[in-house]
Amino acid sequence: MELAGRVPVRSRTYPTRPVAGVGAVVVDGSRLLLVRRKHEPKAGSWTLPGGRVEVGETTRQAICREVLEECGLIVEPVRLLDVVDFIETDSSAQVKFHYILIDYEVSVSGGEVAAGSDASDACWFQFADLDRIDIPQLTLDFLHRHYDFQT
């Protein structure tokens, strides 16, 4: 049943409207926590932990839930870092993915790093090593905008 006035997102692929998502920057000194994505978009790439915001959930609640589900860590949002548009088109210029990502820096208050749900792995990486792994350019550009490190 469709609610009056609501336009459903039919799919993550070729959506009828943008999808709201969240991303977490988890930093420990010179290390950054990344997850290896299990699903498209960017399956197999190392990215920030995060995912879609569920109906009725705030972005702060979503980031805490997503990091726990993907990484096994209990976190608290510290500050809003950025809002990033991720739009990917196919070979015929049709929008295949369209996410509006709200990215927070978070602090860890408990748990142990362990991959779960949408992540095939979760690991700490030295900022200096980020150029040696499969990390999307959008993520690298974002990190360079907000953190002073050299790759």
**Residue segments in the chain with a per-residue pLDDT below the cut of 70:** 1-11, 150-151
Contact 109, 74 (CB under 8 A): yes
- The amino acid occupying position 118 is D
- For 73, the token pair is 């860590």
CA 120/CA 127 separation, integer angstroms: 21
Predicted local confidence at residue 101, as pLDDT = 96
Predicted local confidence at residue 11, as pLDDT = 64
Predicted local confidence at residue 10, as pLDDT = 52
Contact 117, 69 (CB under 8 A): yes
Predicted local confidence at residue 13, as pLDDT = 87
Predicted local confidence at residue 151, as pLDDT = 56
Please, what are the domains in the chain? Answer: 19-127 (3.90.79.10)
Predicted local confidence at residue 2, as pLDDT = 46
Model confidence over 64-97: pLDDT tens digits? Answer: 999 999 999 999 999 999 999 999 999 999 999 9
Contact 104, 84 (CB under 8 A): no
CA 30/CA 129 separation, integer angstroms: 10
| pTM for the structure as a whole | 0.86
Contact 49, 24 (CB under 8 A): yes
CA 96/CA 11 separation, integer angstroms: 10
Contact 82, 142 (CB under 8 A): yes
Name the DSSP letter for residue 109. Answer: E
